[in-house]
Amino acid sequence: MADVIKFACNSQRFYSSMSTTFSSSLNSCQRVLPPNQGARRRGVVSVSDSVGSSFVSPISYRTRKQFGSFKIHATVTETEQPKWWERYDGPNMIDIHSTQEFLNALSEAGERLVLVEFYGTWCASCRALFPKLCRTLAEHPDILFLKVNFDENKSMCKSLNVKVLPFFHFYRGADGQLESFSCSLAKFQKIKDAIELHNTPRCSIGPPKGIGDVNLGSPSVPKEKLPESSGT
């Protein structure tokens, strides 16, 4: 009988030790619930042993933090940049789109020196020279600068015998056309010399001559190939 009581006591201590160990293990466990569950909940697990004893152990449930994801849609609006021949527009610069506009500009210039550039949008030499030309004209606001696009004014350009681009004409009041020549960036000093020569104080007698005796209304020049681009 003493042996049976001793065995029962040992068995009770064994199961009590197991229960304590199992309870500690359960308390250290954490279960992750879906994000839409509560912030933190506690559950109960019931454990029974073969002897009939039972205990209750709480289990902690911890929800996984939910991180929201979002996308940023950036819309970039591209603004069209002006073409190279459309830049550096100043108050003394005029784009010529027709023969009549050209004649009117010369007539209204009075005693001002008029510098005319005949250019092509495809002309590399015209593009290279254009920024420096505009800076020079900005330094001489008294000079009127007329820009003539060859492709838009082919008949007029052929009547004026423009065969190389860029090409320049200088006009002033009753003196009419003063000078004409082709020029590249490497020989830009030629334009400066012409400005210094012709842009001097003077008084003309009589109306502006414009382009002289060249008849721009009815050009009789046969069809020709596009003018060459001045590379020198």
CB-CB contact of 157 with 95 (8 Å): no
Q: Which of 9, 29, 126, 203 is catalytic?
A: 126
Q: Residue 9 catalytic?
A: no
How far is residue 208's CA from residue 103's CA, in Å, rounded to a whole number?
10
Question: Between 9 and 225, whose confidence is greater?
Answer: 225
Joined together, the tokens standing for residue 88 give 């550096």
DSSP 167: E
List the domains of the chain with CATH numbers: 93-199 (3.40.30.10)
Q: Which of 29, 123, 134, 183 is catalytic?
A: 123
pLDDT tens-digit map of 51-90: 444 445 555 555 555 555 555 555 555 578 889 998 887 8
pLDDT tens-digit map of 106-125: 999 999 999 999 999 999 99
Question: Most distant CA pair in the chain: distance in Å?
Answer: 152
Cβ atoms < 10 Å from Cβ of 183:
21
Q: Residue 126 catalytic?
A: yes
In the chain the first and final C-alpha atoms are separated, in Å, by: 128
